A and B are shown apart, each in its own frame.
Chain A
Amino acid sequence: MFELLGVPPQALFGQVLLGLINGSFYAILSLGLAVIFGLLNIINFAHGAQYMMGAFVAWMCLNYLGVNYWAALLIAPIAVGATGIVIERVFLARIAKYDHLYGLLLTFGLALIIQGLFRNYYGSSGLPYGIPPQLTGGQNLGFMFLPTYRGWVVVASLVVCLATWFVIEKTKLGSYLRAATENPTLTQAFGINVPLLVTLTYGFGVALAAFAGVLAAPIYAVNPNMGADLIIVVFAVVVIGGMGSIMGAIVTGFSLGLIEGLTKVFYPEASSTVIFIIMVLVLLVKPAGLFGRAA
């Protein structure tokens, strides 16, 4: 067996794949945060909790209703997105006129509530969720073994990310959205229902988080705490990328996952902090973020 840079290729590519999977979650979650931030000007602290909810809805679908993974992939984003719409209408719309940091505090409170409730009913030990039968097993690619499910996660995330980018940048609906982001008052004056757009945008961002949660369910155990630490890493990703650009969020998410995976191979001690260290470097060199517009 040959070695690459002193590391067996199996381990190297295995970690690269794992990095890409984490990167998929970073990309989807930071994309959702960016979309929400664009229109609502708030940072959705509950994003991690909503990602966790997505995983739990998938688990509940399977264990209470006997609904399989593929249906859950559709049901969970819709169900969790609907709770997002309620949250926007009941809470966020009321505080929109105050300082945007109140939105952060409010969604932080919501995250605590959601996480606490799930921890009460399901404990914090984690529940298993099997890989759907169509995606078990794997392919031997010669240089590495590729578990089918992991490959699917990367492909599915990439497709969802690019579809989101396409809708926002290339369609009429997306142009309304971009107009409302740029100047909500003027957009409203042109007869576009901006409050509705805001509600739907929040719902959509939340649905993206739930989708990531369903994808994550078979890889990580379904756990009430699964989103709590992840969201902080995603915040760092968002700081690195800047929230000005949809494509920027996608590219930053995937590449940071990759870098994290490589760090796990070459210097495992730093793997949990490498993204924060990159954030520090970016702040020093390009404070507005890699894809950000200067504030």
Chain B
Amino acid sequence: MTDLASSDTQSAATVAETDDSAARLHRNLFIAIAVLLVVAPFVAYPVFVMKVLCFALFALAFNLLLGYGGLLSFGHAAYFGMASYVSAYTAKQWGLTPELAILLGTAVAAVLGLVFGALAIRRQGIYFAMITLALAQMAFFFSLQTPRFTGGEDGIQAVPRGKFLGLISLADDRALYWLVAAIFMGGLLLIYRIIHSPFGQVCKAIRDNEPRAISLGYRASQYKLAVFVLSAGLAGLAGATKAIVFQLASLTDVYWTMSGEVVLMTLVGGLGTVFGPIVGAAVIVAMQNYLAGLGSWVLVVQGVIFVACVLLFREGIVGVIAKWIKKPL
């Protein structure tokens, strides 16, 4: 599976000498992202930006597993969708404040990730992808068959945005935006920290050569499970936040097409790059907005992008830029 993250490994040799400059570049990029986040709601429609941020976080979480754990999950909709249901349900039925609802959704996604991950890591490669997909389909059927919890085909609608910490009303898009921006930035920094921690280094070692990592004394399956749980939890954080933003949790969030979309976002942006999923999510969400009137053509366009990316553009947008400037992004 090393090839999937080739852009990352290729640059591995140059990491040592450009480590300092890369770190400086990343710091500057983080500052740029923070500035963009502050400016964005004044120049763009805040709900659109929040949608991009939620999906960007989702794609970042997915990429953590694929790009750094080397595990292609085709069932990330399960964590995104179930967290979205939990946060919508608890905010609406239990009257939880939004931050508690989001935290609870995230926790449920992480627990689900623990269970599904423990099963899926028993197989590798293509089987891993099929198992995660099948388990996610199970979560979909669960959602379909428990309308008392999920609202069935209608989903959970009119979820109250509530008051942050019980004090600040989030009914206004701008107010909510700052919460979403903070969650996104927190998630991004956490993922960056994980990737560059000793834990992240071991994960990359296992991705590149599992038998060797095992022979060096690392318990590969525990590392895989840990990165799976982290990824599922962060995907859940994205889904739970999305439910509060759109005041809606529905079957779409937990269906396999959602799993496919997050794969596409990551692929377009650049597998195994830190910033790629953000770019990919922005591109795909913008495209969906523009093409919304075309009905099922969206599906065709997505399929064409998939095929084109795999055939011609495996590094993704950020991957190509990284190759260009010869620095890991």
Please give the residue numbers on chain A whose beta carbons come within 8 Å of chain B beta carbons, in ascending order. 37, 41-43, 91, 94-95, 98-102, 104-106, 108-117, 119-120, 228-229, 232-233, 235-236, 238-239, 269, 272-273, 276-277, 279-280, 283-284, 287-288, 295
Contacts and interface: CB of A to CB of B under 8 A. Distances in A.
Interface of B: 1-4, 72, 74, 119, 122-127, 129-131, 133-135, 137-138, 141-142, 145, 256, 260, 263, 267, 295-300, 302-307, 309-311, 314
Given A236-B130, A279-B131, A295-B123, A91 B307 contact: yes
B4 A99 contact: yes
Contact of B297 (A37, A43, A120, A272): A120
A32 B72 CA distance: 23
Given A108-B260, A112-B300, 9 more contacts: A101-B72, A104-B74, A106-B310, A112-B303, A269-B145, A276-B137, A279-B131, A283-B131, A295-B123
B126 A283 contact: no
A284 B118 CA distance: 10
A110 B133 contact: no
Given A102-B310, A239-B123, A272-B141, A120 B300 contact: yes
Contacts of A111: 303
B138 A113 contact: no
Question: Interface on chain B toward A: helix, strand, loop, or mixed SS?
Answer: helix
Contacts of A114: 303
Contacts of B303: 109-114, 116
A100 B72 CA distance: 11
Given A101-B129, A112-B303, A119-B299, A106 B311 contact: yes
Contacts of B309: 105, 109
A239 B132 CA distance: 11
A287 B295 CA distance: 41
Task: Enumerate the 3 nearest inter-chain pairs by beta-carbon distance, A residue then B residue, closest first.
Answer: A109-B306, A112-B303, A116-B299
Contacts of B297: 116, 120
B129 A273 contact: no
A295 B124 contact: yes
A277 B134 CA distance: 10
Contacts of A236: 130, 134, 137
Contacts of B138: 273, 276-277
A42 B124 CA distance: 13
Nearest to B144: A272
Given A99-B3, A105-B310, A108-B306, A43 B123 contact: no
A104 B134 contact: no
Contacts of B4: 99, 101-102
B307 A100 contact: no
Max chain B C-beta neighbours (<10 A), residue from A104, A114, A115: A104
A232 B123 contact: no
Contacts of B119: 280, 283-284
Contacts of B125: 100-101
A45 to B, nearest CB: 9
A113 B129 CA distance: 21
A239 B130 contact: yes
B164 to A, nearest CB: 38
Given A98-B3, A112-B300, A232-B256, A106 B306 contact: yes
Contacts of A233: 134, 137
B54 to A, nearest CB: 22
Given A43-B126, A105-B263, A280-B119, A239 B306 contact: no
Contacts of A109: 302-307, 309-310
A243 B205 CA distance: 29
B29 to A, nearest CB: 27
A45 B16 CA distance: 40
A232 B134 contact: yes
B250 to A, nearest CB: 17
